[in-house]
Amino acid sequence: MPTPTSFLHELVGCMSQGAAGNPTVAMIQAAFTHHQLPWRYINLEVAPADLPAAVHGALAMGFRGFNLSMPHKVAVIPLLAGLGESAKLIGAVNCVVRRDGAFVGENTDGKGFLTSLQTVIDPRGTNVVLFGAGGAARAIAIELALAGIRHLTIVNRAMDRGRGLVDALRAGTPTEVTFVPWSGNYVVPSDTQVLINATSIGLYAPEARVPVAVESLRPEMVVADVVFNPPNTRFLDEAAARGCTTLDGLGMLVNQGVIGVSYWTGVTPDAAVMRRALEQALGLAR
């Protein structure tokens, strides 16, 4: 006899404010379809005051997990049963996984960036300069430190936040870390191997300029941007013109989605399928 069709799908999604603008649903659902997984990913508009009820409701309704975007990445922590290593060090959660009937928090932001970076360079033993000290920068800095970089320079306008990130890295990792206040066009040290813009400069603003002394960019550098729309930012265009190897923000977004799907389903999805779906959703497909 044929196996009865099940009309009950496994549920995951993303809780955020501004959920209508989150394109993650397109690439995650494409992965589920490609791998014939009976799962559904749903964008969920959740106000801060409603987050506890939303998390408890997701647990009661059998959600297998969910992503978190602004403004919930820190507020969700006391609502969870535990945290993974990266989430503990970063102090923020962007991916929740159901394990043994409870929700556990992970952070895939930095892992997604690291996976993307490893396609062009092995970061172990490298000197890295990181622009920014916010959520994305913090996640990337932690993962780079855990991956064994030699030295990290944090460049940020807000001194308190920059020094706070340096203190966290020194307390939790063996990496050498330096903080530099960001004033004017930053001159990139000549021994830098990886330069990363982990700020929002350029997001939906193709003419926005990252304040960097372009003449200090050298061809042997890898220059990366976390901005995913547009993927070819002015920062990356300037770096490419100087002969640098460049890495756009779409790779980070796709790879953190790959890690999330793997956490939830146990299946490692096809990253190429997910990237094509994301490009189509953003109107970037050729």
Q: What are the catalytic residues?
A: 73
Coil vs helix vs strand at 158: coil
The pair of structure tokens assigned to 193 is 């191997």
CA distance 160 to 169: 14
Torsional sign, CA 18, 24, 30, 36: negative
CA distances from 75 to 20, 136, 281 (A): 21, 16, 29
Q: State which H helix or E strand residue 160 sits in.
A: helix 159-172
DSSP string, 239-267: HHHTT-EEE-HHHHHHHHHHHHHHHHHS-
For residue 9, count other CB atoms closer than 10 A to its CB: 11
Environment class of 192 (CB within 10 Å of its CB; exposed 0-12, middle 13-18, buried 19+): buried
Tell me which DSSP letter residue 215 carries: G
CA distance 240 to 225: 12
Q: How many residues does the structure list for the chain?
A: 286
228-255 burial, b at 16+ Cβ within 10 Å, e below that, comes to bbbbbbbbbebbeeeebebbbbbbbbbb
